[in-house]
A and B are shown apart, each in its own frame.
Chain A
Amino acid sequence: MQVEQFYYDNRIVKRFAYATALWGIVGMIAGLWVAIQFYAPGAALNFAPTTFGRLRPVHTNAVIFAFVGNCIFTGVYYSLQRLCKARMFSDKLSNIHFWGWQGIIVAAALTLLLGYTTGKEYAELEWPIDIAITLVWVVFGINLFGTIIKRRERHLYVAIWFYIATWVTVAMLHIVNSFEIPVSFLKSYSWYAGVQDALVQWWYGHNAVAFFLTTPILGLMYYFLPKAANRPVYSYRLSIIHFWALIFIYIWAGPHHLLYTALPDWAQSLGTVFSLMLIAPSWGGMLNGLFTLRGAWDKVREDPVLKFFVVAVTCYGMSTFEGPMMSLKSVNAISHFTDWTIAHVHIGGLGWNGFMAFGMLYWLIPRMWGTSLYSKKLATNHFWLGTIGIVIYAVPLYWAGFTQAQMWKTFTEEGQLKFQFLETVTHIVPMYVTRSIGGTLYLIGAFIMIYNLAKTIAKGSFIANEAAEAAPLQKETGHVREYWHRWIERKPMTLLVFSLIVVAIGGALEMVPTFLVKSNVPTIASVKPYTPLELQGRDIYVREGCYTCHSQMVRPFRDEVARYGEYSKAGEFVYDHPFQWGSKRTGPDLAREGGKYPDSWHYNHMMDPRIMSPGSIMPSYSWLLDNKIDTASTPAKIRAMQTLGVPYPKGFDQVANQDLLLQANGIRISLKMDKIETPKDAEIVALIAYLQRLGKDIKASSVAQSPN
């Protein structure tokens, strides 16, 4: 058989590897910055783009899509070529993919800092960027499948299945969750409202974790761990079961982010059941990784790459055990809205994703530069700094989360809530300080890696095109009847279709009934659309990322009803495009904020929260006092809402601004009575109008019903 000569493209791998390191540092610095703001609110610099609400999405998006994203592409572009014994399908597409993705990252960072956001976690990017992501993702797909099709290896190794599942599922998630109606070039409203928006968002959010932070990294594990250990994976059979079980079960688990909320109960239970089932495939994968090292643990002592992989896989095991536990309603009642969740995701983020990325870079760079690692000792130091950093990061936050939940739920003997919300925050500030020390250690480790890798690169010489040879694929002439699964795994397109069917099932089964069955969202007659001023105020609320610290979801617990008021009902959110339930309570819940405080309280509180609540860690929002409401956008916003089914009267868009100014004037007068002078078109007026509206509709209905 004629053996063909060809070259692997290392240049694209190098680019993605550099981008991984760069964005890793950027994402971690953003993370450290927001962590410091928890105990030093002045670190927000009294400047809109650097406040927590805007910087936190920059941190999460940078770490997920820039750091881990580029890490995935580094690993995929390296391993795919070798597993297929073929160069990438097109160098041009590789480059478009690379530069396109980096362009998206820069655009994302800029728009998020400037306050352009959809207000949906991990999907904050506005519609033009969403479209760009779709296009670049298609380019990646063509390149991926093009390479697979021209491969010289008959079988598709399991790592490639994970890459295919990643590609198809991320495409589906991104498109379904990003349905939004553009209002202007950088502003849109989610197509879905309230409960439905929440379900779609957390179906997306959870599966972004599953199919962006887990499946592609598992693919990398199945390639790089055997490579680094120089032995095949422990059980290939297990890897096949692992693959199908994982992608099927994962897609269902999203509703566990919405336990005890206004989401229909059956959907919550479905999320819990599938989350528990997830332990099986997750641990199957973890054990498959760890058992690969059976009889080779002596190598782990020597090799920093294996050290990183072992801790990464162990952290994967820990967080995939913890996740299902947190999906139990009784545990979730404590963990949800607290720092417990933050600790949980950082075991995954710092441990699993970060350490897989570091291990892979330490393994790849010396090989692509034809040399050995500059310093094993430095790499080992990085490993220990990182590991200790993770512990110092996570343990205080577990403590903080548990402590705060207990304090929220404590009643005095007289049956009163024992602690003010603010007391539960100031109590855990020392934990926040410790957490940021852990994060700093982790960041220092990453800098050491960059130094070590730069030194390695300096002493080697880059092999841009690595020579290889392999025989082309022969048409199979076997007469033996093939098993059908082999037929699937040899045909990438079939694999793609099957994975799509599998992941689409979960989504359809959860979403279709929630959308269709009207009894899932009982309508409340007194719930009315937002006034134009409130709508503008709500957009300011979304812009400033208030949802990153404040929930709008009172769960049906004694303490929450006592603290915030009547628990939230599904019917209250029917006009919320997007929903703003939030996922973390660094500040108190705002679902029943309306009418709790006078307008002047909100004015002073936004100017400097510490005037009204001494010890508060909320940033100041002084610019809201000066900025003018963008009234020019009101008609377009009203029309967009009408398109989405919000029942404003016909032609209301033309008179909306009159209505807006009338209501604004009322707030101006109310502020003036408290000796505060403000123009009626200041942004603070719109925000006050929105905050004073929150949760009031349902109170109106109870007043109306009380004579009965």
Chain B
Amino acid sequence: MKFIHYLEKITGVSIYPLLSFAIFGLFFLAMLIWVLKADKKTIYDISRIPLD
């Protein structure tokens, strides 16, 4: 019933945090590239949504 027993039962549990860390890294990088390359007009339009 101890909590850690459930985690221990997952085979190769240590790969998941590493995998998710890599996913995040790539996601963040892609996001950064998108933000820097994004169309000026789109960005301007979205930023005005609260004021419409």
Contact = CB atoms under 8 A, between A and B. Distances in A.
Interface of B: 1-4, 7-8, 13-14, 16-17, 20-21, 23-24, 27-28, 30-32, 34-38, 42-51
Contacts of A515: 3-4, 7
A558 B21 CA distance: 39
A516 B3 CA distance: 10
A196 B7 CA distance: 13
B51 A232 contact: yes
A192 B3 contact: yes
A471 interface: no
Contacts of A502: 24, 27
Interface in A77-104: 79, 82-83
Contacts of A179: 3
A58 B20 CA distance: 38
Interface string A234-270: 0011001100110010000000000000000000000
Interface of A: 79, 82-83, 153, 155, 157-159, 179, 191-192, 196, 222-223, 226-227, 230-233, 236-237, 240-241, 244-245, 248, 483-486, 498, 501-502, 504-505, 508-509, 512-513, 515-516, 643-645
Which 8 pairs across A and B sit closest by C-beta, in order of nearness?
A: A236-B47, A645-B2, A232-B47, A505-B20, A509-B17, A485-B34, A157-B49, A515-B4
Nearest to B42: A486
Contacts of A512: 7, 13-14, 16-17
Given A502-B27, A508-B17, A508-B20, A483 B34 contact: yes
Contacts of B2: 644-645
B50 A223 contact: yes
Contacts, number: 100
B34 A484 contact: yes
Contact of A483 (B28, B38, B48): B38
Nearest to A241: B35
B50 A237 contact: no
A192 B7 CA distance: 13
A280 B2 CA distance: 39
A503 to B, nearest CB: 10
Given A505-B20, A516-B13, A643-B1, A233 B47 contact: yes
B23 A516 contact: no
B3 to A, nearest CB: 6
Nearest to B20: A505
Q: Is the interface of A mostly helix, strand, loop or mixed?
A: helix
Contacts of A155: 45-46, 49
B9 to A, nearest CB: 11
A505 B24 contact: yes
B33 to A, nearest CB: 9
Q: Is the interface of B mostly helix, strand, loop or mixed?
A: helix
Given A155-B46, A248-B28, A505-B24, 13 more contacts: A157-B49, A192-B3, A223-B50, A227-B51, A230-B51, A233-B47, A236-B43, A241-B32, A483-B34, A483-B37, A485-B35, A502-B24, A516-B14
11 contacts: A79-B50, A157-B50, A179-B3, A196-B4, A232-B51, A240-B35, A501-B23, A505-B20, A509-B17, A509-B20, A515-B4
Nearest to A192: B3
A467 to B, nearest CB: 15
Contacts of B7: 512, 515-516
A498 B23 CA distance: 10
A240 to B, nearest CB: 5
A202 B1 CA distance: 23
A504 B3 contact: no
A139 to B, nearest CB: 26
Nearest to B28: A244
A611 B24 CA distance: 59
B35 A248 contact: no
A516 B14 CA distance: 9
Contact of B46 (A157, A192, A241, A645): A157
A237 B32 CA distance: 9
Nearest to B23: A501
Given A245-B28, A516-B8, A645 B49 contact: no
> Which of B3, B37, B49 has the most CB atoms of chain A within a 10 A radius of its CB?
B49
Contacts of A232: 44, 47-48, 50-51
A153 B49 contact: yes
A237 B1 contact: no
Contacts of A159: 50
Contacts of A237: 35-36, 38, 43
Nearest to A485: B34
A291 B21 CA distance: 33
B43 A484 contact: no
A353 B29 CA distance: 32
